[in-house]
Chains A and B, each alone.
Chain A
Amino acid sequence: GENVEQHPSTLSVQEGDSAVIKCTYSDSASNYFPWYKQELGKRPQLIIDIRSNVGEKKDQRIAVTLNKTAKHFSLHITETQPEDSAVYFCAANPNDYKLSFGAGTTVTVRA
């Protein structure tokens, strides 16, 4: 099955700095890579996703890059703010019906 590895497990950044989270996947059939954000005590919510026919996607301060050859994708958050503090999960789909998540990255933005 698909194995998604996510690093780092925790990340502390100064407000205004950038944060980068990296994920690797094992199944070359994966073609959809979403990122979910989970605030403390809340449900996961999609923040951005990328499909295999695209190398990069940006939405305001958030961007995701995908390298299919190397089987890795990354989340970039620029100009971090306190409300960016949360757990972030990457995921990949080994087929059309399953979704495998990484273990999560706890991001803390220091004021």
Chain B
Amino acid sequence: EAQVTQNPRYLITVTGKKLTVTCSQNMNHEYMSWYRQDPGLGLRQIYYSMNVEVTDKGDVPEGYKVSRKEKRNFPLILESPSPNQTSLYFCASSRSTRTQETQYFGPGTRLLVL
């Protein structure tokens, strides 16, 4: 089944404790992206990747890191999480290297930073 998966789905952590949220797609998609969703703010793009080893900042990259060592995986790293990173995170992928294609979203990861 073609899909985007994320792990974990739920996470409670404490300030400063490094964490990684994994994202994987099995559709051989070129483009992958991370978003955070907060009430009243919609979806905001954190980072995106056009291809392996090619990543760039979205609108809210502060406090996050990403890597794209393999085409299928695009982990999101929070080196030192803070409470303002409490949010619902979505990974997405699309076939083309550009955004003018359907983006397929993962199920989401709900993060609480205490």
Enumerate chain A interface residues (CB-CB to B < 8 A): 1, 6, 9, 31-32, 34, 43-46, 49, 51, 89, 91, 93, 95-104
Contacts and interface: CB of A to CB of B under 8 A. Distances in A.
A101 B37 CA distance: 10
B1 interface: no
B106 interface: yes
Q: Which size class do B's interface residues fall under?
A: 20 to 34
A97 B90 contact: no
Nearest to B108: A43
B70 interface: no
Given A99-B33, A103-B40, A93 B99 contact: yes
A51 B101 CA distance: 11
Contact of B42 (A32, A49, A51, A102): A102
A96 B43 contact: no
Interface of B: 31, 33, 35, 40-45, 48, 50, 56, 58-59, 90, 97-100, 102-103, 105-108
A74 to B, nearest CB: 17
Given A44-B90, A103-B42, A98 B99 contact: yes
B99 A101 contact: no
Contacts of B50: 97
Contacts of A93: 99-100
A86 B45 CA distance: 21
A31 B100 CA distance: 8
Contacts of B97: 96-97
A103 B39 CA distance: 8
B100 A43 contact: no
Given A1-B59, A97-B50, A44 B99 contact: no
Contacts of A34: 102-103
B105 A98 contact: no
A41 to B, nearest CB: 9
A98 B59 contact: yes
